[in-house]
């Protein structure tokens, strides 16, 4: 999440000097995540929600369910829609107004992981083919920005989906006040793992300082079968073929670690 503020040029020099010693500015190993915490059920008017903290980064995701007409090309499938908001309280570089390109990229990359891993069994969200299906809205709300929004947002989204319970449906009307015990049809639990490339070094879970000076970024969406379900390379810098293959292997290992927080 590139910020648009001016960064002191000595900052990158220093971060690189530290990386040369085999450690990172905050003392972490190259392949080490910051502390992770997930609180499910944080926003109780949502059908499901989760607050995710990775270090000082805080992301809240809420799931709302409603009824909708299916898309003509998928008449017997429910609809999943993911949006992300870079809420201005999270960073001086986030503005009020419609989502900018950073927010749109973020929501699309999370959406891709959920969709391509078949996280939700959309067919089970069909009520009457061609007529009525469940619409699942996942809204991702960035509350405090200290780097690595992709991984935090994906964790929040899948945690909120796992937390969600169907509301009562009565005479084709949703009674939001009454939640059933029925969970959403979750088929997969994808996670995203992001690396930042700074000079010739790559580190997982970049914090804000690292993001400010990174040359390139790559995010792997990994299914619970350790397969790739989404990929996004960002920024001006580049990766070699070998680097990408190596990072894919590392991402699979890190994904196992992240998935433990979804138990």
Partner 1 sequence: MKVGKPEKLIVNGKRLDGRAFDELRPIKIKAGVLKRADGSCYLEWGKNKIIAACYGPREVHPRHLARPDRAILRCVYKMAPFSVKERKKPGPDRRSVELSKVITEALENVVFLNLFPRSAIDVYIEVLQAEGGTRCASLTAASVALADAGVPMKDLVAACAAGKVDGEIVLDLFELEDNYGEADLPVGIVPRTGEITLLQMDGNLTREEFEKALDLAIKGALQVYELQKAALKEKYGGENGGEQ
Partner 2 sequence: MQRKVVVPGELVAKGKYRLGEGVYRVGDEIYASVLGLLDIKGSYVKVIPLAGRYIPKAGDYVIGIVKDIQPAFWILDINSPYDGILNVNEFIREVDPSTEDLYKLLPVGSVVHALVKEVNRAKKVLLTLKDKKARILRKGRLIEIEPTRVPRVIGRRSSMISMIKKETKSSIIVAQNGRIWIKTDVDMTKFIEKIIRIIEKEAHTSGLTDRIKGIITSKLKSAEKGEGNEGGEA
Q: Which residues bind partner 2 (CB under 8 A)?
A: 5-11, 13-14, 17-18, 21, 25, 27
Q: How far apart are the first and last CA of the chain?
A: 28
Residue 90 binding partner 1, by CB under 8 A: yes
User: DSSP 3-state assignment of 203?
Assistant: strand
Q: Which does 49 bind (CB under 5 to 8 A by kind): partner 2, partner 1, none?
A: partner 1
Checking DSSP bridges between strand 79-86 and strand 132-144, what pairing results, if any?
parallel
Are 47 and 64 in contact, with CB atoms under 8 Å apart? yes
Place of tokens 């000079």: 199
Q: Which does 240 bind (CB under 5 to 8 A by kind): partner 2, partner 1, none?
A: none
d(CA 135, CA 67): 6
Pick 19 or 155: Cβ nearer partner 1: 155
Pick 74 or 83: Cβ nearer partner 1: 83
Instruction: Count how many Cα atoms sit within 13 Å of the Cα of residue 88 in the half-sphere of its side chain.
Output: 4
Are 193 and 206 in contact, with CB atoms under 8 Å apart? no
Pick 84 or 214: Cβ nearer partner 1: 84
Query: Which of 137, 228, 237, 248 touches partner 1 (CB under 8 A)?
Result: 137
The contact set with partner 1 (CB under 8 A) reads 42-46, 49, 56, 58, 60, 62-64, 66, 83, 85, 87-92, 96, 98-99, 137, 139, 141, 143-146, 176-177
């Amino acid at each position: 999440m590139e910020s648009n503020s001016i960064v002191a040029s000595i900052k990158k020099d220093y971060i690189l000097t530290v990386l040369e010693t085999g450690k990172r500015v905050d003392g972490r190993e190259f392949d080490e995540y910051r502390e992770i915490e997930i609180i499910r059920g944080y926003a109780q008017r949502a059908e499901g929600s989760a607050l995710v903290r990775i270090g000082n980064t805080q992301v809240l995701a809420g799931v709302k369910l409603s009824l909708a007409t299916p898309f003509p090309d998928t008449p017997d499938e429910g609809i999943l829609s993911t949006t992300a908001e870079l809420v201005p309280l999270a960073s001086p570089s986030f503005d009020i107004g419609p989502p900018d390109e950073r927010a749109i990229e973020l929501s699309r990359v999370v959406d891709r992981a959920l969709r391509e891993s078949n996280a939700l069994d959309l067919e089970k969200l069909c009520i009457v083919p061609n007529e009525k299906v469940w619409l699942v809205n996942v809204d991702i709300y960035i509350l405090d920005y200290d780097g690595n929004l992709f991984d935090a947002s994906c964790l929040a989204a899948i945690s909120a989906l796992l937390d969600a319970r169907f509301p009562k449906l009565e005479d084709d009307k949703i009674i939001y006040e009454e939640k059933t015990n029925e969970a959403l049809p979750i088929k997969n639990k994808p996670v995203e793992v992001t690396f930042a490339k700074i000079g010739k070094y790559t580190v997982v879970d970049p914090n804000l300082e690292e993001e400010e000076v990174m040359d390139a970024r790559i995010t792997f969406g990994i299914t619970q079968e350790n397969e790739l379900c989404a990929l996004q390379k960002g920024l001006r810098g580049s990766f070699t073929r070998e680097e990408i293959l190596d990072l894919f292997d590392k991402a699979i290992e890190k994904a196992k670690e992240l998935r433990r927080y979804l138990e």
